Amino acid sequence: MVINVLDQKLYNMNPDYLSYTLSKAALQTATVALAQALAPKVRVVGLAPGLTMQSADQTPESFAAAHTVTPLGRASRPEDVVAAALYLADASGVTGTTLVVDGGQHLVPLPRDVMFLTGA
């Protein structure tokens, strides 16, 4: 069982953090290719959290403000990401796909990364 940690940015692209986003896109492609190549002996899945923990460059206020634009109006909590990983580890019928855990952040197109929209 392999769980590749991706990012919701893959489903809501913007030009910020380009090299990071490109590396995550490559890992997502590898997730699908490895799932095909290693099945049925090994399952390979992706887990794409949204903004979960406050960055060193963010104030508590800008971190909270970044989540006001998500459909659920809150951050992905670490326990949400852990619960998703445990689900993926247990779900023997799941391979080659990615689970997004981001409060719906990937559903809201933004021209910039939330780090730049909230005045961090």
pLDDT score, position 79 = 97
Residues 103, 74 contacting (CB under 8 angstroms): yes
Helix (H) or strand (E) holding 98: strand 98-101
Residue 50, both tokens: 């949204």
What tens digit of pLDDT does each residue of 20-41 get? Answer: 999 999 999 999 999 999 999 9
Measured CA to CA, the distance from residue 19 to residue 90 in angstroms comes to 32
Residue 33, both tokens: 């290719």
pTM, rounded to two decimals: 0.91
pLDDT score, position 114 = 78
pLDDT score, position 112 = 87
Domains of the chain: 2-117 (3.40.50.720)
pLDDT score, position 54 = 85
53: Cβ contacts below 8 Å, ≥ 6 apart: 78
Regions of the chain short of the pLDDT cut 70: 118-120
Q: Is 20 noted as a catalytic residue in this protein?
A: yes
